Chains A and B, each alone.
Chain A
Amino acid sequence: MTALASAKDTEMVEKTNSASPNRVIDIENLSLTFETNDGPVHALSDIDLKIDEGDFVSFIGPSGCGKTTLLRVIADLEKPTAGSITVNGVSPEEARLNRAYGYVFQSSALYPWRTIAKNVALPLEIMGLSGEEQQERISRNMDLVNLSGFEKKYPWQLSGGMQQRASIARALAVEPDLLLMDEPFGALDEIVRDHLNEQLLQLWAKTNKTVVFVTHSIPEAVFLSTKIVVLCPRPGRIYDVIDSNLPRDRSLDVRETPEFLKIAHRVRDGLRAGHSYED
């Protein structure tokens, strides 16, 4: 069974390689149904999506459209009930066990009994890295999110924005090529959020990682993404996929340009259309 599965995986890797040399996520006909007491809930239905290396992809949609569920399927925190998905050419579970991605949650989920530096070290300890290597990665990644000097602080001594930056540093410390972010700035005020969005873009440009980003803010999605996936609810499905033609190197000013507004308009139309049958 295992041999068969791995053979299938290799085959799939070859197939992916032939289609595109740097495909990171490949989702085909994926569905997920939760069995509840009130009958089945179709959280995701017939999802097809391809994400390439270096993409910055945003999932946007109203609450309950399955955007977080889709991200959790990629992270192997949920199992799909039908269809196929590969992450880095292997199953999500294998990708998780290979520590192929870093996951940033809605709240920072820092451990209050650990200092910021020790929180960033948490995944490194689990991976069993040497002390030196840990130290090196801690200082590098804390520097990357502008938190140098706060190593010895405890999470509850920092502001919400700093906590979330620390959790990003923790995800980056794993040094994954893929970053999965589930509304990481949802709980922050707009000024902090703008600032962190800019920093995130710089980070992405510096490291050339693939980012999958869940949000329900249209400006955030358009500002950050190279590709915007609009989802709609009941059942959760993809309504529209928009490839952004904004330059990869962008500043907050880009939000005033006609191109930006055009994309934002299309996203809003998509959200509205996906919703319209409810009224």
Chain B
Amino acid sequence: MTTVAASKRGFDIPALLAWFIVAMVMVGLFMPIFSPDIGVMDVPRLSICLVILAIAGVRYELGFMRNWIGDLILGLVTAIAAWLLISTVSDHAGEAALGFWALMAATWAASWLFVERLAIWKSSSPLAARLINLAIPTLFGFTLLVLWQLIVVGAGVPKVLLPAPSEIWIRLTTSVPILWADFQQTFLKAVLAGYFIGCGSAFVVAILVDRVPFLRRGLLPIGNLVSALPIIGVAPIMVMWFGFDWPSKAAVVIIMTFFPMLVNTVSGLAASDAMQRDLMRTYASSYWQTLFKLRLPMAMPFIFNALKINSTLALIGAIVAEFFGTPIVGMGFRISTEVGRLNVDMVWAEIAVAALAGSLFYGVVAMLERAVTFWHPSMRT
């Protein structure tokens, strides 16, 4: 399997990675790990880290156990090495030297090698295949977090510039009530209300526009104009109209989500072809029957496109709108005030919550799309 993958690419990346691991281990062995002049032999935990990485790299080069068992051991070694590095560096914050960076690079290469190996695993059971597909991006993200942690702590980056993931995690777990209140205010109230009202009203207007030709010519350009309004300009006006609390943020979200939904639904309603419409005509089908049995199902891929775009737009809109006046709760409010107080770890905690909420929201819409437009060529399995 490896040889096939290698011959396709011209050179063998896994072998290069294994060589790289061995080379970095050598650097780690002879260069100082922490300043001033602490060698790897002075730190027992890093000695273990160095040895297991060396064994893993050499093992792959020698072609020993190039199967799933060897790969799993490689994954385990990588995880242990990462944990050893993280737990050691916290006692030597800001003192990392060349040897430490070499071990970090070796760990990173080991994790890359593990993912490379994982990507060529073949499994007959669909469940295992799904798990592997899920594991690859998860491992990738986790590797980034580990590197972030090691670099920030090892190089002693000031907390204001970039806090370590561990600090963000601690902040996240200790401020759950605040984060939950912010999440409720911004997401559960402003985002969801704005999203449903914005998408729902755009859907209804799209059907009207489709039914009444003069609206198409009159309303679509105005909709276009509204969508071009800068959110920074609209948000303060919405605050003046609808007050400080969440309705003004929902209004901003409505403005942001309305137009993508309108345009997509209108073009979706035009997606059925002449033959399909003639077919309905031969059945003497009424306008509403044609709408529900032909044109709306046909429009669904377009509508879901808009729903997906809007799921991320809505969150951005609500958070930015909170910068312009809000009660003392909300994700945008928290971000703007905590930045002012140099509590950057809290800002990052809010960002993490927003990223998680946004991804989940998008994921739910995408799953709904799969269920509704299973018939579309892009969805067929």
Contacts and interface: CB of A to CB of B under 8 A. Distances in A.
A151 B374 CA distance: 18
Contact of B275 (A98, A109, A126): A109
B175 interface: no
A70 to B, nearest CB: 15
B140 interface: no
B375 A126 contact: no
Interface stretch (A10-18, A100-108, A268-276): A100-108
Interface in A141-175: 154, 156, 174
B125 interface: no
Secondary structure at chain A's binding surface: helix, strand, loop or mixed?
loop
B379 to A, nearest CB: 10
Contacts of A107: 275
27 contacts: A77-B278, A77-B282, A96-B281, A96-B282, A96-B284, A97-B284, A101-B282, A102-B282, A103-B279, A103-B282, A105-B279, A109-B276, A111-B294, A111-B297, A112-B375, A112-B376, A113-B297, A113-B374, A122-B283, A122-B293, A123-B283, A126-B285, A126-B293, A154-B375, A156-B375, A156-B377, A156-B380
A209 B116 CA distance: 65
Given A96-B284, A97-B284, A107-B275, A125 B293 contact: yes
A143 B14 CA distance: 59
Contacts of B278: 77, 103, 105
Interface of B: 275-276, 278-285, 289, 293-294, 297, 373-377, 380
A75 interface: yes
Contacts of B294: 111
Most buried by A among B276, B284, B285, B380: B284
Interface in A73-112: 75-77, 96-99, 101-103, 105-107, 109, 111-112
Nearest to A103: B282
B297 A174 contact: no
Contacts of A49: none
Contact of B283 (A106, A111, A174): A174
B375 A113 contact: yes
A205 interface: no
A126 B278 CA distance: 14
B304 to A, nearest CB: 13
A187 interface: no
Contacts of A106: 275
A99 B376 contact: no
Contacts of B282: 75, 77, 96, 101-103
Contacts of B285: 126
A106 B279 CA distance: 11
Most buried by B among A106, A113, A123, A174: A113
Contacts of A75: 282
A156 B380 CA distance: 9
Contact of B281 (A77, A102, A125, A156): A77
Which 7 A-B residue pairings sit nearest by Cβ, starting from the closest?
A112-B375, A113-B375, A103-B282, A123-B283, A126-B283, A97-B284, A126-B285
